[in-house]
Amino acid sequence: MENSTQINTEKINFSLEDLEQDIWVRLVTGAVKSRNPFHTPCVATMDKGEISLRTVVLRKALAKERELRFHTDIRSPKWKELSLNPSISALFYDAGDRIQLRVKGKAVLHYKNDLTAEAWKNTTSSSRRCYLTLHSPSSFAEIPTSGLSEEIEQENFTLAESEMGYSNFGIVSIQVHSIDWLWLNHAGHRRAFFDYTDGSFQWMIP
Ligand SMILES: Cc1cc2nc3c(=O)[nH]c(=O)nc-3n(C[C@H](O)[C@H](O)[C@H](O)COP(=O)(O)O)c2cc1C
């Protein structure tokens, strides 16, 4: 997976099937490479008729399962929003290759199960700090603060102490229903739509 580019971006004629494979190679690469542009998508949820957007880290992309995952604090507003309305959308943009993906799907929330246990085991001390704030993420504060004690802020804690964060740790799994792919190209843009709900792959007018 070193080189995510399957599609020769100089050659415009490729099949929808090749393209779909290329998209998933890019997503898988985005999940494993922290400097990849697909590593930090923007994710949208609905809250009482209002849209909320935020950046997250793509932690896992599974092509066969058509699944994307990110980690979050279960005390965060997005977790509550998704438990009430699982509709979710993720936006990716690779400025180098000029490829945009608009992913739509349904969120499945994982909490204290085998999936979260495995992922938690592999989180770094630095990441674990995010789950150790006394107050919920997105709650207001009197002063500018990380919400962490000085010891925790400086990662001055044992692995056992960091285990407390597990009770706040959740995984959002996006079951992908569709992908809208857009490629900006000087010789003419290209666009395609992959609908997994009925299995149809179609070209679109950009
Ligand atoms: C580069 C970057 C990566 C982020 N990754 C995550 C993430 O993986 N999970 C997460 O919950 N928040 C992440 N955040 C913070 C969110 O964007 C957001 O500010 C926070 O989760 C609160 O969102 P909410 O109030 O909608 O729940 C990240 C922010 C940035 C800038």
What is the extent of the structural domain holding 165?
16-134+149-204
70 ligand 1 Cβ < 6 A: yes
Residue of 50, 52, 54 to mutate, ligand 1, most atoms within 8 A of C-beta: 54
Q: How confident is the model over 145-175, as pLDDT tens digits?
A: 988 888 888 888 888 888 999 999 999 999 9
- Atom number, ligand 1, closest to the C-alpha of residue 53: 26
| Ligand 1 centroid to residue 73 C-alpha, Å | 9
Dihedral sign for Cα 91, 92, 95, 98, please: negative
Task: Measure the CA–CA gap between 27 and 67, rounded to whole angstroms.
Answer: 10
Q: How confident is the model over 16-75, as pLDDT tens digits?
A: 999 999 999 999 999 999 999 999 999 999 999 999 999 999 999 999 999 999 999 999
Specify the pLDDT at position 1: 38
Residue 1 lies in a domain: no
Instruction: Look at residues 81, 27, 20 and name the one whose alpha carbon lies nearest to residue 53.
Output: 81
Specify the pLDDT at position 187: 86
Residue 6 lies in a domain: no
Q: Which residue has the CA at smallest separation from atom 6 of ligand 1?
A: 56
Phi and psi dihedrals of 22, rounded to 5? -60, -40
Total domains in the chain come to 1
Supply 190's token pair: 């290209």
Residue 141 lies in a domain: no
CA atoms within 13 A on the CB side of 118: 6
Residue of 46, 56, 58, 79 to mutate, ligand 1, most atoms within 8 A of C-beta: 56
Residue 2 lies in a domain: no
| pLDDT value at 203 more than 50 | yes
Average pLDDT across the chain, whole number = 92
Residue 89 lies in a domain: yes
Q: What is the CATH number of the domain that holds 175?
A: 2.30.110.10
| pLDDT value at 83 more than 90 | yes
Q: How confident is the model over 187-197, as pLDDT tens digits?
A: 899 999 999 99
A 10 A CB-CB count for 201 gives: 15
Residue 4 lies in a domain: no
Specify the pLDDT at position 45: 98
Q: Could you tell me where the beta strands, DSSP code E, fall in 48-160?
A: 50-55, 60-62, 67-73, 87-94, 99-111
A 10 A CB-CB count for 35 gives: 5
| pLDDT value at 86 more than 50 | yes
Share of residues in the chain with pLDDT > 90 (%): 79
| pLDDT value at 5 more than 80 | no
- Average pLDDT estimate for 79-85: 97
Residue 100 lies in a domain: yes
Residue 53 lies in a domain: yes
- Yes or no: say if 171 and 70 are a contact pair by the CB < 8 Å rule: yes
45 ligand 1 Cβ < 6 A: no
